[in-house]
Structure 1
C-alpha cells in the first residue's frame, strides 16, 4: 500500500466506520473507486475487482454493507453497471450481525437511501437460496434512471464453514448461470459477490464458478 493511500485510509481505519475488520482493508491496485475522484475519502468502499481471465469472468468481491455504507453499495452497483448481487451470508449468524439490511423483502418492499430507492419486484424461495428481482432507482435523474438487478442470497453457508449441501449450492450456481448475468467476455460488467468480510465464502464461490466454466 502506498504512503498516500495509507494516509487516505487513516481516518477510515481508526474510526472503523467502513469495514467490518481493519485487517480486511482493500489495496489500491484492485479496489473499486466510487465516483471519479480516487483521492477523495468518500471514494472508498471495501470492495475489489477480481477477474479469472481464462474463464472470462469478472467479479467484484465486497464486504457485506454496514448501516452507513448501504448507499455506497448501491452507488457501486449503479456506477459499475452490475447485473446481479450474490449474497452468501445471512443477516444474523450465531447471534452476530453480519450485514446491514440493504435490500427490500416481502415485508418491506421498498428501502430508501440518500441517492437510491431499492424496490422489490418479486421474491422467490428456493431450497437454501432466495431470489429477489430488484428495481434500482437513482434519485434526481428522471423517470428513466432505473435498472433491474438480480439479487440471489444463499442461506445455508455458515461463516468459517461449508455449505449445508453441495447439491443445493450447485443448484444456486446453475440458477445464476442460467440468467446470463455472469460475464462471458473480458469487457462484460462484473457481478458483485459478498459475504460478511468478502473473503472466504466470496472467494470460494468465484473459484468454483470460474473452474466449472473452464472445465465446461
Structure 2
C-alpha cells in the first residue's frame, strides 16, 4: 500500500520533487524512485567548497516535538559523503540510526563515513571523524563518533543495526526495541 501510494504521489505530482529530479541532483540519489519531496527535503546551507549545493537526498520527518524531529536519508554514496557530513554538522545531529550493512547481497548499500575502533580517523575534508568507542550489542553496534570541523569538535552516537535483512524485516523484535530505547 505504501509503495502504491508513493507511486501515485509521484505520478499525480501531489507532492513535487523537482529539486531531486534536477539533472545535477539525479546522481546524488541512490535509487531513482526514492527522492525527497520539495516541501519536506533537508536543505544544506553550510558550504565547505565552492561547488557545494543545497541538495541532499534527505527528508524531515514529523515527531511529537515538531515537524523537524527526525531526518531520514539514504546511505551516502562515494560522492555524497561530504554532503552527509555537512548535514550532520549543520543540523547538529546527536544520533544516527543506520538500518543497513555497508554491503548487502554483494552490493554496496552505504559508503563508510566513520572509522572502526582502533582505525585511523576517517577524513573527508574539511571533516575528520574519529571512533572513540564501539560496542557490539548483538544485532547492532553502538559507536561514539567525534566529528571535527574547523577546530571544533562534536560527539554523536551511531546505532548501526547490522542484522536488518536487505529485502524484509528482522526476525526478532527485542533487539530493535533495545536499539530504539537507546536511541
**TM-score computed with the length of structure 1 as normaliser:** 0.70
* Kept in 2: contact 1:64–1:100 (CA 8 A): yes
CA RMSD of aligned residues (A): 2.7
Query: What is aligned with 2:34?
Result: 24
* Kept in 2: contact 1:74–1:116 (CA 8 A): yes
The structure showing larger relative contact order (alpha-carbon pairs under 8 Å, at least 6 residues apart) is 1
| CA offset digits 1:116-146 (Å, max 9, x no partner) | 00001011111111000011000xx33xx11
Query: Equivalents in 1 of 2:121, 2:92: separation in Å?
Result: 21
Out of 110, 129, 132, the residue aligned to residue 121 of structure 2 is 110
Query: What is aligned with 1:128?
Result: 139
Cα distance, 1:173–1:149 mapped onto 2, change above 3 Å = same
Normalized per residue, the structure richer in strand is 2
Query: Equivalents in 2 of 1:66, 1:87: separation in Å?
Result: 14
Query: Equivalents in 1 of 2:20, 2:182: separation in Å?
Result: 43
Query: Equivalents in 2 of 1:165, 1:4: separation in Å?
Result: 35
| Structure 2: runs of 5 or more not aligned | 1-12
Task: Describe the SS at the equivalent of 1:42.
Answer: coil
Cα distance, 1:25 vs structure 2 = 1.8
Whether 1:150 and 2:157 are equivalent positions in the alignment is yes
Normalized per residue, the structure richer in helix is 1
Residues paired across the two proteins, number: 167
Query: What is aligned with 1:11?
Result: 24
Cα distance, 1:5–1:134 mapped onto 2, change above 3 Å = same
* Kept in 2: contact 1:103–1:118 (CA 8 A): yes
* Kept in 2: contact 1:91–1:101 (CA 8 A): yes
Query: Equivalents in 2 of 1:55, 1:6: separation in Å?
Result: 24
**TM-score computed with the length of structure 2 as normaliser:** 0.81
Query: What is aligned with 2:96?
Result: 85
Query: Equivalents in 1 of 2:29, 2:164: separation in Å?
Result: 21
* Kept in 1: contact 2:60–2:68 (CA 8 A): no
Cα distance, 1:80 vs structure 2 = 0.4
